[in-house]
Amino acid sequence: MASKLKWTLLKFAPIFYTIVGLSILAFMWQCVSWGTAPKPGKENETQQIPGPIATIDTLGSVIREDSLLVGQNIGFGQTIMMEVGLNLVPKQSGAEKWINSTFDKDQTYQDSALKSLTVKLIGSLGRVLAGFILGSLLAIPIGLVMGSSKIGLNIINPIVQLLKPVSPLAWFPLGMIALSSAGGATIFMIVITSLWPTLINTAFGVSAIPEDHKNVAKAFGFSLWKYITKILIPYTLPHIFTGLKLSIGIAWMVIVAGEMLSGGNGLGFFAWESYNGGDLGRLLTAIVVIGTVGIILDKLFTYLQEKVSYKS
């Protein structure tokens, strides 16, 4: 009886520890908030950083505003589609004009919708996915080729080592020059910074295929296609997904910095705007949302990684 209780409690241990961890974070946050409280007589000189409870309050009101927008007008969905669409098509093209003419219905409504967190979140996610997918489409094939030969590995390795530590912000101006659009430069920035973990992990995976598995292919005369589909890919897939998980994390981290530089509709810009407007509550809300989405992306890729892993 007592032992059964013990095991039931142990099942909830991870949740319990999560709660403890988050409580410690909230407490430290509250301490910072108290520390920045304006001194008597100097109320107008400094601003107090909102504590966790105040921030949750702001988050609640932001969500309420957004849901009101959704309820008010079915154009909200159109606004999102317009935003995502405008992100993906080149500026001043026919497609852009078509999007504007199709979705542009109620200017005042759209202005308020564009300021909403939901539209900005979706804009950011769209950009991250575009950059991440482009980057992965480059990284996986290059990694596969790189890993399958020692010479390839040795040639590409120094290039990767050199470009990998370059800060995402350093790539932004280059993207601006090359693509002459802020949105394009942001996506370029994501592509080039999120490329490396996938590239390295893919190459490592291919180069680490055990001799035993290769011997099976030799002994039974596997065709190249059979070798790729039955040995190379199954063995490398978990490594590729480890890389993808790291890459999406980097992409999500880079997007905020990118949007602070490029403006436009994204979470980074939302945070910057809130700071400029002196609304620290919204700034912290943005940080909470960024963190939460980061966790969700990480969990999603951990799940996918487990799905493609074999048990030996």
Partner 1 sequence: METTVIEKEINMETVAIEDLRPNSIEIKNVTVSFDTPKGIYTAVKEIDLTVKKGEIIALIGHSGCGKSTLMGTISGMTKQTSGEVIANGNPVKGPGPDRGIVFQNYSLLPWLTVYKNIFEAVDSVFKDKSKSEKHEIVEKNLKMVNLFEHKDKLPGQLSGGMKQRVAIARAFSINPSILLLDEPFGALDALTKSSMHVELLKLRNLDNREKTIIIVTHDIDEAIFLADRVVVLNNGPASTIKEIVDVKLARPRNKKDIVHDPEYMKIHDRLLGLLIDKFSIDDIH
Write out the residues near partner 1 by the rule CB under 8 A: 212-213, 215-216, 218-223, 226, 230-231, 234-235, 310-312
H or E element, residue 278: none
Q: How deeply is 57 buried, as exposed, middle or buried, from its count of CB atoms within 10 A (0-12, 13-18, 19+)?
A: middle
Q: What are phi and psi of 45, to 5 degrees?
A: -85, -40
Least distance CB 300 / partner 1 (angstroms): 22
Least distance CB 199 / partner 1 (angstroms): 23
Least distance CB 78 / partner 1 (angstroms): 45
Least distance CB 308 / partner 1 (angstroms): 9
**Closer residue to partner 1 in complex, CB, 150/311:** 311
Pairwise CA distance, residues 185 & 187, whole Å: 5
**Closer residue to partner 1 in complex, CB, 115/213:** 213
**Closer residue to partner 1 in complex, CB, 144/261:** 144
Pairwise CA distance, residues 116 & 101, whole Å: 21
**Closer residue to partner 1 in complex, CB, 29/235:** 235
Least distance CB 197 / partner 1 (angstroms): 23
**Closer residue to partner 1 in complex, CB, 128/232:** 232
Q: How deeply is 148 buried, as exposed, middle or buried, from its count of CB atoms within 10 A (0-12, 13-18, 19+)?
A: middle
**Which amino acid is located at 167 in the chain?**
S
Q: Cβ distance 79 to 119 under 8 Å?
A: yes
